[in-house]
Each structure stands twice: as C-alpha cells, then as structure tokens.
Amino acid sequence: LGNKITAALSNVTRANVIDDKVVDDMLKEICNALVASDVSVGLVVKLRKNIKMAVNIQEMAAGLNQRKIIQKAVFDELCNLLDPGKKAYQPKKGKPNVIMFVGLQGAGKTTTVSKMANYYKRKGFNPCVVCADTYRAGAFDQLRQNATKIKVPFYGSYTEADAVKISQEGVELFKKEGKDLIIVDTSGRHKQEAGLFLEMQQIAEAVKPDNIIFVMDGSIGQAAFDQASAFKKQVAVGSVIITKLDGHAKGGGALSAVAATESPIVFLGTGEHMDDLDSFDAQSFVQKLLGMGNMKELMSTFSSVMDAEKAPELAARLAKGKFSLRDMYEQLTNLMKMGPLNKVLEMMPGMGQLSAMMKGTGHDSSAKLKSMLTIMDSMTADELDSDKPLKEQSRVIRVAKGSGKSVREVEELLEQHKAFSKMIGKIGKTNIGPGNRNQAQ
Ligand code: GDP
Ligand code: MG
C-alpha cells in the first residue's frame, strides 16, 4: 500500500504543471493501491471524493508545497476512515465492567481476552475471565492456561454444554466477588452460522455486557467488510480489535472493520505472547502503513541492484531480522550505483530528514553516503559483523579519529543502523529476495 501511494505522490512531484489530470491520475493510483490492500471499494470511492475536495488546485498552483498538501490529504483521509466518530468504551474502576468478545473461530479471541486481562491488571484493575466456548474441545483449557500464566481468576466447565448458563453463572459469581473487569470469551465457528449468532445473542442477553468487542484476523483480505458487517447486524458491537498484524496482513481490513461496525479500534494484536497487544492510535497506524511500504519499496530496489551471488544469503539473514553494519556498508555501496539518491534516501527510516536537509543546503547526498562508508572503513571486521553494533564510547572515539569524522557523525551512523535494523526486524518475515520483488507491496 505505502509504496504505491508514495510512487503516486512522487509522480506529482515530477510533474511540472499540477492540473486536474495530474491529481486525477494520482488519485486513481492511490485508489488502486488501497483496493489491493484489502480496503473495500465503497470506502475507496469515499476517500477519493474527500481527497479531491481537500486538495485545492488553485492553491497549489500558487506555489505551495504541492506534494505536502496531497500527502497530508491522503494521510488525513486514511485517519478519518479509522475514526467512526465515537469514543471506545473505557472500563471504569469501582464497578463491574462486563466485556464480551465475539468473532470467528481462529480470529484470536481467547488469546486477546487474556492479553486484555493482563493489560488492565497492570493498570490496577481486578480482571477475570469466563469461558463461554463450549463448542470447541480444549477451549476451556486454553483460556485456563492463559489465565493461570497471567494470574487472573477464570470460570468455566468441562462438562456443561450450555454456554449461556456458564457465562451467566461466571459473571454473577465474579460480580459477587467484586471483580471490576469481567471478560467473557465466546465460541467461534468456521463461518458465520445461524447457530453461532443465536448463541451470541443469548449470551449478550444473559450477561448484559457494557461493551461487545469484535475480534478480527487482520489477514483475511477483502472478506473483512462483510464479516464485520455480519457480526454488527447480530449484536451491538461497540469496539474492534484487529489481530495478527505481526504477519502478512496488509492493514486495509482495519479500515473496513471500522466502517462496517461504526466502532473504533481499541487494540491491535501483534503476536502470540501476552504482551503483544498495542493500544490503537490512528495516526501512528497510518504512519506505519505508509512507512512500511517505503521500506519494502526500498528493499525491492536493493534486491534489484544487489550482488546476485550474495542476494540469497543476505535475504536469509534479513528474514531472521539480522542486519549488521557490514550489511549496511554493502547496501550503501549498492546505493551509490543507483540514482537519484535523494529519492532512495527518502525511503529509508531516519534518512528522510537527512535527504530534505541536504536538498536545502544543496549538498550532494552521495557525499553523505561516502562519509558514512568512510566511517565504516575505520571499523574492525568484528565490529562490522557483530549483531550488536558497537556501543562503547572508546570504540566510537577510535572510529571517529580513524575516519577523520566527528564523534557525532559516528553516533549518527550508528543511530541510522539501529533504525534500519529495527525496521528490518519488523519486515523480516516479508519476502524480499530478488525473486519476490513483485510481492514487495
Ligand atoms: P479464537 O478461536 O478466536 O479464540 O482464536 P485463538 O485466540 O485461539 O487464536 C487462534 C490462533 O491465532 C492461535 O494460534 C493464536 O496464538 C494466534 N494468534 C492470536 N492473536 C495473534 C496475533 O496477534 N498474532 C499472531 N501471530 N498470532 C495470533
Ligand atoms: Mg477461542
């Protein structure tokens, strides 16, 4: 998604005259990128109309920074799509907040119930969990194990088949015990079935939840809108959690889930562990959406100029999230072979500002790259190959002296390497080998 939008935006930069056609072409490309990223067509049409209204051609012709205006309009509209115009339910201390989880089987409900209990426990709540999944064998054990791990009381039964009865009993018991956050985990099915929905409604009626949270697997693609709508039609969904955003999910489903349920996203699931739960922030979500795209575009550019012999080896290392200073050295050398450098630099985390700065001073960015290579030339082989780049001040000073650069410049380079490896860790699971260039979106 990100790289296509970035590409569309850079076409605007390249165009000498900004007119309706340039803006229309750009919007078309952005819309295609959004649809390809699993955003529903209806939403995309809306987004296109809004951006078109936000972008004032006259104003742009007057010489304001055109790219910035359009970029901001795209950013704002994506944020807008993630804002249903109502606030999420916030559990309040001093009363029993009953939260019910719904969603398809495998969406991540049971995992997320436990993550959320853990989250609120840390905030000083007294959470507890109720297993109302009597459908799937092992469901109670799974919740019980998670609850034990995070030391949170649980309620459930191996023998009782009536999910409505269990949830009612559990909630009543925990209310009596004075628990202030009672989370009810329900069962799922492989698809939206009448039986599941009926049970869901009956449980909702029995426990009268303060909030119903719809949990959706972030990687289900275009199915997101319909699935979310189906649940919204059956129960009063109040908030949304998108899971598995640590994998190959393209993120567009999140926009659809908000639109379909008219409910805010509260958390994102980013892994299988109890701590892999992020509070949702629309702006940083959109930033990430765009930023990751840039990185992937950069990686595919890398792989297109990469030494063919070394490519598979590097790809394997990157897939493990490993990116040494020597890897950076080699990639920067490759960068020197490509142009225009400023565009490439803009794609790199932490380098965008650098590139903008250099444009301002009229400096050639390749001078900066050469300076970085000079610094790395003064490092030892061990320092270049280490997974933990050098930290000790004495080494930093030695490298600065040896390369004739300032300590600040060496530290900047190490910062850049850190930002780079962090991004690589995150996208490590994505295909970046030379044979997979088309998947880098
Ligand atoms: P449920 O059927 O809706 O209760 O789903 P579960 O909680 O049992 O999760 C199904 C599978 O997805 C399990 O293997 C979980 O470990 C996994 N899972 C849940 N959330 C996440 C997530 O955010 N990231 C990843 N990678 N896996 C997740
Ligand atoms: Mg479950």
DSSP state letters, 149-164: HTT--EE--SS---HH
Q: For the chain, how far is it from start to end, CA to CA, in angstroms?
A: 6
Distance CA 159, CA 226 (A): 34
Alpha helices by DSSP H, listed for 178-324, are: 194-207, 224-234, 252-261, 282-305, 311-319
- Full-model pTM: 0.68
**433: pLDDT confidence band, cut at 50, 70 and 90?**
very low
Asked, colleague to colleague, whether 2-81 and 288-439 share their fold, the answer is no
Taking CB atoms and a 6 Å cutoff, what residues make up the pocket around ligand 1?
Answer: 103, 105-111, 188, 243-244, 246-247, 269-272, 276
pLDDT digits (tens, 9 = 90+) for 100-158: 999 999 999 999 999 999 999 999 999 999 999 988 888 999 999 999 999 999 999 99
Domain made up of 2-81: CATH architecture: Up-down Bundle (1.20)
Range of lowest pLDDT (19-23, 66-70, 88-92, 93-97): 66-70
Q: Where are the chain's structural domains?
A: 2-81, 97-280, 288-439
Which token pair is 237? 């969904």
The confidence score (pLDDT) of residue 293 equals: 43
Superfamily of domain 288-439: Signal recognition particle, SRP54 subunit, M-domain (1.10.260.30)
Give the pLDDT score at 397: 94
Cα–ligand 1 centroid distance for 363 (angstroms)? 50
Pocket test for ligand 1, best of 101, 104, 105, 111 (most atoms within 8 A of CB): 111
Average pLDDT score over residue span 91-108: 95
CA torsion 87-90-95-97 (nearest 10°) is 100
The arrangement of secondary structure in 97-280, i.e. its CATH architecture, is 3-Layer(aba) Sandwich (3.40)
Q: Which residues have a Cβ under 8 Å from the Cβ of 287 and sit 6 or more positions away? A: 75
Q: What is the DSSP letter of 248?
A: T
Distance 214 CA to ligand 2 centre (A): 13
pLDDT per residue over 283-292, tens digit each?
A: 878 876 665 4
Taking residue 337's Cβ as centre, other Cβ atoms within 10 Å add up to: 7
The ligand minimizing its distance to the Cα of 163 is 2
Residue with tokens 């209990």: 117
3-state secondary structure 62-117: CCCCHHHHHHHHHHHHHHHHCCCCCCCCCCCCCCCEEEEEECCCCCCHHHHHHHHH
Ligand 2 centroid, distance to 174 Cα (angstroms): 20
pLDDT at residue number 212:
98
Lowest pLDDT segment from 10-19, 135-144, 180-189 = 10-19
Q: Which residues, 6 or more positions from 58, have their beta carbon under 8 angstroms from its beta carbon?
A: none
Q: What is the mean pLDDT of the chain?
A: 80
User: Per-residue pLDDT tens for 365-417?
Assistant: 667 778 889 999 999 998 998 877 788 899 999 999 999 999 999 998 888 78
**pLDDT for 302:** 52
From 246, 272, 278, the mutation candidate for ligand 1 (largest count of ligand atoms within 8 A of CB) is 272
Tokens describing residue 419: 């930002």
